């Protein structure tokens, strides 16, 4: 088993190695690109020598022109080298700062671990004291009993509501019954003109409306009464739970747990601020390193300006014409120069191939470095190096990290292994103690993450009980049975019939 902090050290070390490897590749790229610039400058000089041989006085003018261009290119490259030296100095400062910050992070993590353990020990001691308190145990028993009663009442209310929906369909599908029901027929609320009253009475005789009305009224009324009862019991349960929670909080304050937790929060905030500084330094270091890389690859503005200028100088002279002229002369000097030009072009082709290969390697190492840096940032952000964090199979974690660096495993696979193997040390305090065991937040953190910001959040709805207080599974034992109603006749598909003829 290895700890989360050991794994973070492995990740940080691997990141340092990848960055060193990238710096080495970039140094080789820088050297190759500088040689390319040198070859281009040498080609320019060789062309100037050819011009001097073949054009006489004009060659003197060309020589002056090219010497002037050489001075201009040298000035460009000198400015570029000064800029690169400044970037390298800044990079060295940032690397030193990052290493210093990593060293300074260790005591902050240690302080957080000490504060976390202090909270855990204090909570465990407070819970043990409350267990010996008769008044506290009595309050907890009342909270548990009323919670259980509220749960059962809610289940009955939900079952009654389901029963009302199921059995009410037969009543509500009959238009005659619903017409009379909506008019309040058979109740003191019924009002109608004499003719309408006689017609309604005749319609009511066609079906057993009175017995149907009584049954439907009971079916509609029962869920409402049960829900009122469930809400009243739930309010009583919430009051008992609030009282228990208040005892928990009073005990925490009396035993200094909240004060210790505040110290823990201060230590955690200090570590978070320090990690933010590390992230800023890492970001600036990466930006500075990217600037140096662009210069090593010849992608910076100064390099592009020098290359463009040299290209314009080369394009000004017809190299092929100079070569043909050299072959036509009896002098060996120009043949030698042409030979050197051919050698320079061959060497440039080889260097261009080398630069392409190095750029490919640099890109691969850069991607691995950036991905590993992202893993490290997320690792610390998710507090996988927190006190008590460890991995059951350390060899698997180390092997997976090695595969990730070789490109044989993706970051998602690495995270699945880290998450699957991670465990945290058992706590002395119990987060489900007292009011923490009702599924609506706990005042006992065991030294872990901070508790909710308010008691209202912990006591809110959506907890263990169904509906208002949780899911309802059972059904009411005293509910109505059967769907709809019928008399001595049969019940048709549409509604209700009497035993006689219509």
pLDDT single digits (tens) 353-382: 888 888 888 887 888 788 888 888 888 888
CB 115 within 8 A of CB 264: yes
- 487 or 205: which carries more pLDDT confidence? 205
**pLDDT at position 63, please?**
42
Distance CA 43, CA 60 (A): 17
Please state, rounded to an integer, the average pLDDT across all residues of the chain: 75
Interval 82-99 mean pLDDT:
91
Segment (H or E) for 220: helix 209-254
Question: Widest CA span of the chain, in angstroms?
Answer: 139
With a cut of 90, say whether residue 448 has pLDDT above it.
no
Interval 411-422 mean pLDDT:
85
Paired sense of beta strands 2-3 and 422-424, if any? unpaired
* Strongest mean pLDDT among 272-276, 329-333, 433-437: 272-276
CA dihedral 415, 22, 80, 46 (to 10 degrees): -140
Distance CA 472, CA 464 (A): 10
Sign of the dihedral through C-alpha 445, 451, 454, 458: negative
Sign of the dihedral through C-alpha 343, 347, 350, 356: negative
**pLDDT at position 264, please?**
92
pLDDT single digits (tens) 31-65: 888 787 787 777 767 665 654 454 333 223 344 44
Q: Is residue 496 classed exposed, middle or buried when 0-12, 13-18 and 19+ CB atoms within 10 A define those classes?
A: buried
| CA-wise closest residue to 66 among 38, 41, 35 | 41
pTM score: 0.52
Segment (H or E) for 422: strand 422-424
**pLDDT at position 62, please?**
40
**pLDDT at position 447, please?**
55
Distance CA 405, CA 400 (A): 9
pLDDT single digits (tens) 194-213: 887 778 777 777 777 777 77
Interval 93-117 mean pLDDT:
92
CB 380 within 8 A of CB 389: no
pLDDT single digits (tens) 13-28: 888 887 888 888 888 8
With a cut of 90, say whether residue 216 has pLDDT above it.
no
**pLDDT at position 324, please?**
60
Which stretch of 147-151, 272-276, 395-399 has the lowest confidence by average pLDDT? 395-399
**pLDDT at position 246, please?**
92
User: What Cα–Cα distance (Å) separates residue 5 from each residue in 95, 105, 134, 283, 287?
Assistant: 21, 11, 43, 22, 27
With a cut of 50, say whether residue 188 has pLDDT above it.
yes
**pLDDT at position 214, please?**
78
Which stretch of 75-84, 96-105, 307-316 has the lowest confidence by average pLDDT? 307-316
With a cut of 60, say whether residue 465 has pLDDT above it.
no
Q: What percent of the chain has a predicted confidence (pLDDT) above 90?
A: 20
| CA-wise closest residue to 179 among 166, 192, 188 | 192
With a cut of 90, say whether residue 267 has pLDDT above it.
yes
Which tokens hold the place of 367? 């991607």
DSSP-derived secondary structure for 297-328 = TT-SHHHHHHHHHHHHHHHHS-HHHHHHHHHH
448 C-beta neighbours (distance < 10 Å), count: 19
**pLDDT at position 415, please?**
85
* Strongest mean pLDDT among 103-112, 376-385, 426-435: 103-112
With a cut of 50, say whether residue 152 has pLDDT above it.
yes
**pLDDT at position 360, please?**
81
């Amino acid at each position: 088993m290895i700890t989360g902090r050991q794994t973070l050290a492995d990740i940080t070390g691997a990141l340092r190695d990848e960055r060193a490897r990238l710096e080495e590749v970039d140094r080789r790229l820088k050297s190759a690109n500088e040689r390319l610039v040198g070859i281009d400058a040498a080609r320019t000089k060789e062309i100037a020598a050819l011009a001097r041989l073949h054009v006489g006085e004009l060659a003197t003018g060309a020589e002056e022109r090219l010497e002037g261009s050489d001075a201009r290119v040298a000035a460009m490259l000198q400015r570029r080298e000064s800029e690169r030296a400044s970037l390298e100095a800044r990079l060295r400062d940032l690397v030193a700062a990052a290493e210093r910050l990593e060293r300074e992070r260790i005591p902050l993590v240690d302080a957080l671990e000490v504060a976390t353990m202090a909270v855990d020990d204090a909570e465990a001691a407070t819970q043990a004291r409350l267990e010996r308190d008769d008044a506290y145990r009595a309050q907890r028993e009342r909270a548990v009993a009323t919670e259980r009663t509220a749960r059962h009442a809610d289940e009955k209310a939900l079952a009654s509501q389901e029963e009302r929906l199921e059995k009410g369909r037969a009543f509500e599908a009959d238009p005659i019954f619903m017409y009379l029901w909506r008019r309040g027929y058979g109740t003191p609320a019924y009002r109608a003109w004499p003719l309408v009253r006689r017609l309604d009475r005749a319609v009511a005789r066609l079906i057993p409306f009175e017995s149907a009305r009584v049954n439907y009224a009971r079916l509609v009324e029962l869920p409402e009464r049960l829900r009122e009862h469930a809400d009243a019991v739930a309010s009583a349960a919430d009051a008992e739970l609030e009282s228990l929670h208040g005892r928990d909080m009073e005990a925490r304050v009396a035993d200094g747990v909240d004060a210790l937790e505040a110290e823990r929060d201060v230590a955690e905030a200090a570590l978070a601020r320090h990690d933010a500084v590390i992230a800023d330094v890492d970001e600036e270091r990466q930006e500075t390193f990217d600037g140096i890389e662009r210069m090593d690859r010849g992608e910076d503005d100064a390099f592009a300006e020098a290359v463009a200028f040299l290209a314009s100088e080369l394009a000004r002279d017809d190299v092929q014409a100079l070569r043909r002229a050299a072959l036509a002369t009896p002098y060996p000097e120009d043949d030698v120069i042409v030979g050197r030009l051919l050698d320079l072009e061959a060497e440039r082709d080889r260097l261009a191939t080398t630069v392409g290969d190095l750029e490919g390697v640099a890109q691969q190492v850069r991607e691995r470095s950036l991905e590993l840096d992202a893993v490290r940032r997320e690792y610390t952000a998710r507090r996988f190096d927190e006190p008590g964090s460890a991995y059951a199979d350390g060899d698997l974690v180390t092997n997976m990290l090695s595969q990730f660096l070789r490109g044989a495993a993706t970051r998602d696979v690495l995270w699945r292994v880290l998450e699957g193997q991670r465990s945290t040390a058992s706590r002395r305090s119990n987060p489900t103690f007292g009011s923490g065991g009702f599924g609506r937040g706990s005042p006992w953190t065991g030294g872990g993450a901070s508790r909710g910001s308010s008691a209202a959040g912990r006591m809110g709805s959506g907890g263990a009980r169904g509906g208002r207080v949780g899911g309802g599974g059972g059904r009411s034992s005293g509910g109505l049975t059967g769907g709809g109603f019928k008399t001595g006749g049969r019940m048709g598909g549409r509604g209700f019939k009497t035993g006689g003829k219509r």
